Amino acid sequence: MTGSPHILVVDDDAEIRSLLARYLGGQGFRVTVAQDRRECLARVADARPDLLVLDVMLPDGTGLEICRSLQDRRPRVPVILLTALKEDVDRIVGLEIGADDYLGKPFNPRELTARIRAVLRRSGPEDAAPADGARRFRFAGFQAIPDQRRVTADGAEIDLTGAEFDLLMAFLERPGRVLSRDRLLDLTQGRGRDPLDRSIDVLMSRLRRKLASEAVPALFKTVRNGGYQLAVPVQVETPDP
C-alpha cells in the first residue's frame, strides 16, 4: 500500500456518504463513495480500494453478498460492515463470511476511523517481503510467518483474514496461557468488549475450522469462564544474532 489509504464507502444514505467522505478525507484518507451493490462492485474493479466501509442493507442487494463475493479476490479487500443495532445476526454472519470488523449504527466517525486504521494495520500488504531472519512459529504441523502474515501447512498456504491472523498470533506469542475474550479483543483490535459482542467467538470458530487437522483435533481449548487456550506446543525460530 503506497500513499494515502483509499477507502470505499458504500451506503444508500446520501447524508452518511457525504459525512464520511468529508470526515475520512480530513483524516488523511482518499475516499470514494458508492450508493448500491452495482456501483460498489464497479468501484472495486476500477478504483482498487484498500478497504471497504460497507452498509449491510443496500437497495439492490446486501453488504453480506458483496462481502462473500470478495473472498476469492486477490489481493483481498478488507471490509468493515455497518449494521443497525438490531442486526446482530447480520454481524455474526458477516464475520463468518470474512468481514474484518463491524460497527453498529448510529456510530461515531472517530470510532470508525480508529477501526479503519486498526484493520489496515493488521491486513498489511500480501506481497510484503520478509525481513532477513524473520521469526517463524511452528505448531502442530503449521508454520506462521508474521512478517509475511502467512500460515502454511506442508507447503500449502492457509487463507486467513487479517483478523484471524492477529487472533492466531495472540496465542502463538503467549503459548499455553488462557486468554479471556476481553484480553483477545484488546490484543487484536485494541478495544473493549460490549456485553453482546460475539466477534471473538465467531473468529475462534473460523480459525478452528481453517486449522482443523485429523492429527491435532483439539488445537484450541475452550476454558469455561476463562476464555481460550492454544493446546499445542509452539516452537519459535529466531534470527541468528
Strands 79-84 and 235-237: unpaired
pLDDT in tens, 95-137: 777 788 888 888 899 989 988 988 887 766 544 444 444 689 9
Report yes or no: 76 and 126 within 8 Å, Cβ to Cβ. yes
Write down all domains in the chain, each with its CATH number in brackets: 6-123 (3.40.50.2300), 136-237 (1.10.10.10)
Grid cell 452518511 is found at: 16
Alpha-carbon distance 36 to 59, whole Å?
6
154, HSE (Cβ side, Cα atoms, 13 Å) = 2
Mean pLDDT (the chain, rounded): 83
Report yes or no: 169 and 203 within 8 Å, Cβ to Cβ. no
- Poorest-pLDDT segment among 158-162, 205-209, 228-232: 158-162
- Poorest-pLDDT segment among 14-18, 132-136, 197-201, 228-232: 132-136
